[in-house]
Structure formats: C-alpha cells, structure tokens
C-alpha cells in the first residue's frame, strides 16, 4: 500500500468573481521509503501540489479530488496539525523566510521535540546537537546559541533538514531545498538529505526544476507542465516537453556554443487553451493536439508519444 496518494487532485483560487485553476487532474503515488521527484518549470504547480498535502493552500482555495495518507484521507483542523507535527514535514526553498529571525537556532530545533514529542528541554538540546552533527554542522553547542542571521544559507538549510529529522516523519516534502545555494553547497545538502532519508526510512517528494538532480536523488520522476503531470518518467523520456528539458541542460560530454531552449514561455494551468497545453511550444504538434487534452497512456500524456519515442 502506498504512503501518499493523490487521485484526480485539483486546486483553483478565486479571481475576479471566478476561479483560476492552478493544478488539475494530478495522480501521484509515493510508497514507504520511496523518493519521488516532481519536475517542471516555474509556475507549473509543483509547490502548490506539495503544500496542499499538508493544507497550506491559498485563502479560499477550492480543492478537488482526493489526498490519501497512510490509507486515510488527509484530515483538517486539529487532526491535520497532529499529522504535520509528527508524520509529514516540509523543507522550504528559503530557510530565512521560515525560521524566526529573533529566536535562536536552538529554540527552532528543540520546539517540536519539547511540545510535540514531550521531550525534556535538556534532552531535546542534546538531541539537537546530535542532529546538527548528522547534517555536517560541527560545534553544535555554539550553533544552538546563534541566530539565523549569523549563519550562511547553506548552514541554515542544513538546520532546516535537522529540524525535519528531529521528529522522524514518515514523509518529507522538499520544496526546491537547494535553489538559493551555490552549486557546491547544493550537492552537499542533497547528499546529506538523501543519506539521512535512507537511514531513517523516510519517503520523500522532491520538488525541483533540475532533472539531473532529481534523477540522481529519486527512485522515480514525474514531469509537470501547466498544472498537470505529463509524464511518469521511467527510462528514456517520451514526452516532447521532457525531451526539451533534457536537451536544454549542460553536458560534460559535449561542447556546444549555445544550449537548445524550448521556444515560448511556460504557461499556468489557467492560461492553457483547449487541447494539449504544451502544443504552442511543441515542434511535433498537429491540429488534433489542439482539440482536447491528451489522456495519459502508459504514463505519457502525448498523442504522438509512441511514434516519436
């Protein structure tokens, strides 16, 4: 049985007396201990999908479909708070925006252990020092006394990972956890996160726009465009959008004067016209591609996937 299942998930927000669709008809499963990457350009609905799992939706948002965690639909109110406190944790893009700047690192790390796990303060502090060591931060006692502005972005993101490990959740939602970091620090942080996830047996949903990073870290990949999953990537890419993403990344094996780019710009779900949302940017599009949304057949939502594979 899967740990997390999204069935026909959709999300719309109120806009000028109507609704704007941000995510539609998303089907996704994550097994226990499995890492799944959700890949796509900015605005495709990746972060909104992850946040909806723990109820962090915009005010007045309309959610459709089902979100099932460990065999039961995700609850609301007090039960949802219990779920977020112990079983599902989230790592956000910018740790500076989610760690209280006027409180110490020690306060941030021990709060959940003291209030949610009922752990004595002294024991929680000792556990926090150990967690900092696990994520590669030495001199933990001194770090606990510091405030967020005294730490670099890379160290703060490691603190965020340590806070997630403090409650040992079943599922980690990692929303582009390395976006604000330099390349070297990115690889270090992802290596730490992946190693600790495996050690603790946690499942993970990794939100990223970097296909190579997701492929190196995750067991499976799902590619999202305009609020929909267009391909469950297993082996060679078959959807034109996924192939475009693969071609546009730098390679150490060949020299090019200019990287190929996908023409046009990405669109949000509410901007997509009838038919395939990617059709205006696709060099393989036919008139039939603009008539109706292509169904997902063998994990690919493209009418020409089989003939162009």
Report the CATH number that the domain containing residue 22 is assigned in CATH. 3.40.50.300
Contact 202, 17 (CB under 8 A): no
Within 8 A by CB and 6+ apart from 123, the residues are none
Residue bearing the bigger pLDDT, 159 or 307: 159
**Which pLDDT value is given to residue 88?**
92
Asked if residue 274 has pLDDT above 90, the reply is no
Q: What is the mean pLDDT of the chain?
A: 88
H or E element that contains 270: none
Q: Looking at residue 260, what DSSP letter applies?
A: -
Q: Which of 17, 12, 24 shows the shortest CA–CA distance to 60? A: 12
- Full residue range of the structural domain in which residue 238 is found: 4-87+169-308
pLDDT band at 291 (very low <50, low <70, confident <90, very high): confident
- Confirm whether 163 is domain-assigned: no
- Confirm whether 92 is domain-assigned: no
Segment 258-287 shows an average pLDDT of 87
Order across the sheet with 88-91: list the strands: 88-91, 171-175, 203-208, 35-39, 220-225, 228-233
Cα–Cα distance list, 187 to 87, 193, 199 (Å): 26, 10, 18
- Confirm whether 9 is domain-assigned: yes
Cα separation, 223 vs 211, whole angstroms = 9
Report residue 241 CA to chain centroid gap: 19
Within 8 A by CB and 6+ apart from 36, the residues are 28, 30, 203, 204, 205, 206, 218, 219, 220, 221, 222
Structure tokens at 215: 């492929």
Domain count of the fold of the chain: 1
- Confirm whether 250 is domain-assigned: yes
- Confirm whether 197 is domain-assigned: yes
Within 8 A by CB and 6+ apart from 274, the residues are 290, 291, 292
Cα separation, 98 vs 35, whole angstroms = 24
**Which pLDDT value is given to residue 189?**
79
């Amino acid at each position: 049985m899967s740990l997390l299942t999204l069935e026909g998930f959709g999300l719309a927000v109120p806009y000028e007396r109507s609704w704007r669709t941000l995510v539609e008809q998303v089907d996704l499963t994550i097994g226990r201990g499995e890492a799944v990457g959700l890949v796509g350009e900015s605005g495709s609905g990746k972060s909104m999908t992850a946040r909806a799992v723990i109820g962090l939706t915009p005010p007045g948002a309309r959610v459709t479909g089902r979100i099932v965690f460990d065999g039961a639909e995700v609850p609301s109110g007090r039960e949802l708070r219990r779920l977020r406190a112990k079983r599902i944790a989230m790592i956000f893009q910018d740790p500076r925006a989610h760690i209280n700047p006027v409180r110490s690192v020690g306060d941030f790390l021990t709060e959940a252990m003291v209030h949610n796990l009922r752990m004595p303060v002294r024991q929680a502090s000792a556990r926090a020092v150990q967690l900092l060591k696990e994520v590669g931060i030495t001199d933990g006692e001194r770090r606990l006394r510091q405030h967020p502005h005294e730490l670099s972005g890379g160290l703060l993101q490691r603190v965020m990972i340590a806070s997630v490990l403090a409650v040992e959740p079943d599922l980690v939602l990692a929303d582009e956890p390395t976006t604000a970091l330099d390349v070297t620090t990115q690889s270090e942080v992802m290596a730490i996160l992946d190693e600790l996830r495996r050690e603790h047996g946690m499942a993970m949903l990794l939100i990223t726009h970097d296909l190579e990073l997701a492929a190196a870290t995750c067991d499976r990949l799902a590619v999202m465009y305009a609020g929909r999953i267009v391909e469950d990537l297993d082996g060679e890419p078959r959807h034109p959008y996924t192939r475009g993403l693969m071609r546009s990344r730098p390679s150490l094996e060949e020299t090019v004067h200019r990287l190929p780019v996908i023409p046009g710009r990405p669109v949000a779900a509410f901007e997509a016209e009838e038919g395939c949302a990617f059709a205006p940017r696709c060099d393989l599009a036919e008139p039939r591609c603009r008539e109706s949304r292509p169904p997902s057949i063998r994990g690919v939502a493209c009418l020409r996937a089989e003939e162009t594979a």
